[in-house]
């Protein structure tokens, strides 16, 4: 069944059970008529605020959307009552996910816009999420503290009643940046951050978490600075679902960064309020399968909560691969407290990227992604998932990392390969590329230049990292001269989304607003979940029941008021 206003109504056999159903109760009629046509299920499922009763009437199954139900195995309350063979309660998109998560973050919907770096998750996107009752994290990674501060000021005016979240990415080669962001977020009252790309906890992250923790008048421990950690590894999840490390707390106390009370209360809180199980996503990813990752993270959460007995049990959501209503419904069915969407949002009009990138993303298929060396963790051999269709970035990035691994200085690289690097990748000789790299680090972190002067391998790494970093900037700016070098973070979710919307208005990138996409995922998940409830009670559903076609946002809002 295609749940779309434009779907053709087809004739099919009358409602009937797949197998003998179980009598669940009796239904008492009201003034509304019962319906015998299978097509009535289409509209009934879309009216998600209303219940659905499947009744047995004169040996046939019928559908009712109102009336009085008496559940139980007893006799009919009156002669006018009909047996109920299946029942579906109201289930709107606002009911999906964890009510604790929504209450804690002041949300209507358990839906999160993940933090895509360099402001791709932009001020406009984060503000749209907040205004729609959803949560967005500004993509602060790759930006200077001054740029992040500008975003904080802008969002404070755009959504004065609800300061959204900001990204806090692990920067192993720039710990001072983490300190600067921690101080900035504390100074401006940023109450929630998305901690991403962490392998081990760092002192600045612990400082942000613990600063300000106190007991209220009732004796309850209050932690004003929330963390939603994005992780894909069990050992990392364990660190975030446990109290802050005592050694780090001692270090912060010795430096007088925190008070004695804050140090003492740190043992009573987890490092993260909530956790995103990051499956196969764009950008930093371990390509984990969602169907195995989420249950494992939920079990670990329960184990550690039982061990530490925190005042609030951390919520666990799912990100990576949320690209269709079916995927969202499956995530909630597996127990996800919330869903996180990133890759798909990058093709929306609010994303801080170029039209040329949106067009490339709109043409992507599920197999059009690959792994490539990351700019921020180049020397560690860490990879990110990127789009390979329409760009040669991945091949070129791998070539640079291979040369870095095999040679201790740039001059050791064979002449023919150096020529290829300078002509095709850097598009400049190495000396000029180094001058440009120095100019960047003189403003950002002069210590890197000093280190490079004494370590030629590190100097080579900085130049190669510079190309990787610029590749994402060229993509955002839509630089036509460097399109073959675009670095576009992208997971297979993009291809799944494009396939889902290919015959709809969302096939055009210019129609993709972030709230329209989000509402379709959530509303579709509600409709499909209600359909599955009927099917699981033995009702034979019309064809295509497991399909939901995109609807305009105003039409979804109409259904949410019926």
* pLDDT, position 80: 81
37 and 61: one domain?
Answer: yes
389 and 425: one domain?
Answer: yes
Kindly tell me the sign of the dihedral angle through the C-alpha atoms of 111, 113, 115, 116. Answer: positive
- The Cα 517–Cα 194 span in angstroms is 22
80 and 104: one domain?
Answer: no
259 and 374: one domain?
Answer: no
2 and 136: one domain?
Answer: no
- The Cα 88–Cα 449 span in angstroms is 65
Residues 6 or more apart whose Cβ sits within 8 Å of residue 60: 14, 15, 36
* pLDDT, position 273: 97
Q: How far is CA 76 from CA 17, 61, 72, in A?
A: 21, 17, 10
Cβ atoms within 10 Å, residue 551 = 25
Out of 63, 90, 117, a domain closes at: 90
Q: Please check whether residue 194 lies inside any domain of the structure.
A: yes
Residues 6 or more apart whose Cβ sits within 8 Å of residue 189: 163
Taking the chain (562 residues) in runs of 10, the rounded mean pLDDT of each run is 40 50 78 82 93 88 89 78 92 98 96 97 97 97 95 93 90 91 96 96 98 95 97 97 98 98 97 97 94 98 96 96 97 98 97 97 97 94 95 98 97 97 97 96 90 96 97 97 97 97 95 98 98 92 85 97 90
**Residue 294 near residue 334 (C-beta atoms within 8 A):** yes
Residues 6 or more apart whose Cβ sits within 8 Å of residue 231: 198, 237, 240, 275, 276, 277, 278, 297
415 and 449: one domain?
Answer: yes
The CATH number of the domain holding residue 206 is 3.20.20.70
* pLDDT, position 530: 96
* pLDDT, position 455: 97
83 and 200: one domain?
Answer: no
**Residue 5 near residue 555 (C-beta atoms within 8 A):** yes
- The Cα 444–Cα 465 span in angstroms is 14
Q: Please check whether residue 253 lies inside any domain of the structure.
A: yes
* pLDDT, position 8: 32
Beta bridge partners of 385: 283, 371
- The Cα 46–Cα 26 span in angstroms is 24
* pLDDT, position 161: 77
* pLDDT, position 79: 75
Beta bridge partners of 25: 71, 84
**Residue 517 in tokens:** 């996409």
174 and 301: one domain?
Answer: yes
Question: What 3-state DSSP class applies to 317?
Answer: strand
Q: Please check whether residue 475 lies inside any domain of the structure.
A: yes
Q: Please check whether residue 528 lies inside any domain of the structure.
A: no
* pLDDT, position 21: 52
334 and 479: one domain?
Answer: no
**Residue 462 in tokens:** 């900085």
**Residue 134 near residue 112 (C-beta atoms within 8 A):** yes
Question: What 3-state DSSP class applies to 371?
Answer: strand
**Residue 454 in tokens:** 């004494």
* pLDDT, position 540: 85
100 and 13: one domain?
Answer: no
Longest Cα–Cα distance of the chain, Å, equals 94
232 and 340: one domain?
Answer: yes
154 and 189: one domain?
Answer: yes
* pLDDT, position 5: 38
Q: Please check whether residue 9 lies inside any domain of the structure.
A: yes
Q: Please check whether residue 247 lies inside any domain of the structure.
A: yes
**Residue 62 in tokens:** 């019928």
The 10 Å CB-count burial string (b at 16+, else e) for 157-192 is: ebbeebbbbbbbbbbbbeeebbbbbbebbeeeebbb
Residues 6 or more apart whose Cβ sits within 8 Å of residue 302: none
H-run or E-run covering 111: strand 111-113
Closest-CA residue to 205 (of 236, 162, 232): 236
Domain encompassing residue 263: 95-353
Closest-CA residue to 296 (of 278, 283, 312): 278
**Residue 553 in tokens:** 């946002």
Q: Please check whether residue 2 lies inside any domain of the structure.
A: yes
């Amino acid at each position: 069944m295609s749940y779309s206003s434009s779907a053709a109504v087809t004739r099919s056999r009358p409602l009937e059970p797949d197998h003998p159903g179980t009598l669940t109760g009796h239904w008492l009629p009201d003034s509304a008529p019962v319906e015998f046509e299978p097509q009535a299920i289409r509209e009934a499922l879309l009216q998600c605020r209303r219940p659905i009763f499947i009744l047995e009437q004169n040996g046939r199954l019928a559908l009712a959307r109102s009336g009085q139900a008496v559940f139980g195995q007893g006799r009919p309350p009156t002669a006018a009552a009909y047996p109920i063979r299946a029942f579906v309660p109201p289930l709107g998109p606002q009911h999906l996910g964890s009510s604790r998560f929504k209450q804690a973050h002041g949300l209507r919907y358990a839906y999160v816009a993940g933090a895509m770096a360099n402001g791709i998750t932009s001020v406009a996107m984060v503000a749209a999420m907040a205004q729609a009752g959803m949560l967005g994290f500004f993509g602060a990674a790759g930006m200077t503290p001054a740029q992040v501060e500008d975003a904080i000021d802008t969002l404070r005016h755009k959504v004065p009643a609800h300061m959204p979240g900001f990204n806090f990415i692990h920067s192993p080669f720039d710990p001072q940046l983490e300190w600067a962001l921690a101080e900035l977020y504390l100074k401006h009252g940023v109450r929630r951050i998305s901690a991403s790309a962490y392998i081990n906890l760092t002192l600045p992250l612990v400082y942000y978490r613990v600063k300000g923790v106190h007991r209220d008048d009732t004796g309850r421990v209050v932690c004003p600075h929330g963390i939603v950690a994005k992780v894909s590894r069990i050992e990392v999840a364990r660190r975030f679902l446990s109290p802050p490390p005592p050694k780090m707390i001692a270090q912060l106390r010795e430096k007088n960064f925190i008070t004695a009370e804050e140090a003492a209360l740190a043992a009573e809180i987890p490092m993260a309020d909530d956790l995103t199980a990051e499956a196969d996503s764009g950008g930093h990813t371990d390509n984990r399968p969602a169907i195995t990752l989420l249950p494992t993270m939920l079990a670990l959460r329960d184990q550690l909560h039982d061990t530490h007995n925190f005042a609030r049990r951390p919520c666990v959501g799912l990100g990576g691969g949320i690209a269709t209503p079916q995927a969202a419904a499956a995530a909630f069915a597996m127990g996800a407290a919330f869903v996180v969407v990133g890759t798909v949002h990058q093709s929306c009009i609010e994303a801080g990227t170029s039209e040329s990138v949106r067009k490339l993303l709109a043409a992507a298929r599920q197999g059009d992604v690959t792994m490539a060396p990351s700019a921020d963790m180049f020397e560690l051999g860490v990879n990110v998932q990127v789009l390979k269709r329409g760009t040669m970035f991945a091949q070129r990035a791998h070539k640079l990392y291979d040369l870095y691994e095999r040679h201790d200085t740039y001059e050791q690289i064979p002449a023919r390969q150096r020529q290829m690097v300078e002509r095709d990748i850097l598009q400049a000789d190495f000396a000029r590329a180094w001058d440009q790299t120095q100019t960047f680090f003189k403003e950002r972190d002069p210590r890197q230049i000093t280190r490079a002067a004494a370590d030629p391998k590190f100097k080579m790494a900085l130049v190669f990292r510079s190309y990787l970093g610029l590749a994402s900037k060229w993509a955002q700016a839509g630089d036509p001269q460097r399109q073959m070098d675009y670095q576009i973070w992208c997971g297979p979710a993009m291809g799944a989304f494009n396939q889902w919307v290919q015959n709809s208005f969302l096939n055009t990138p210019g129609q993709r607003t972030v709230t329209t996409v989000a509402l379709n995922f959530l509303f579709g998940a509600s409709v499909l979940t209600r359909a599955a409830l009927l099917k699981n009670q033995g009702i034979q559903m019309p064809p295509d029941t497991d399909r939901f076609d995109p609807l305009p946002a105003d039409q979804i809002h109409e259904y949410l008021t019926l």
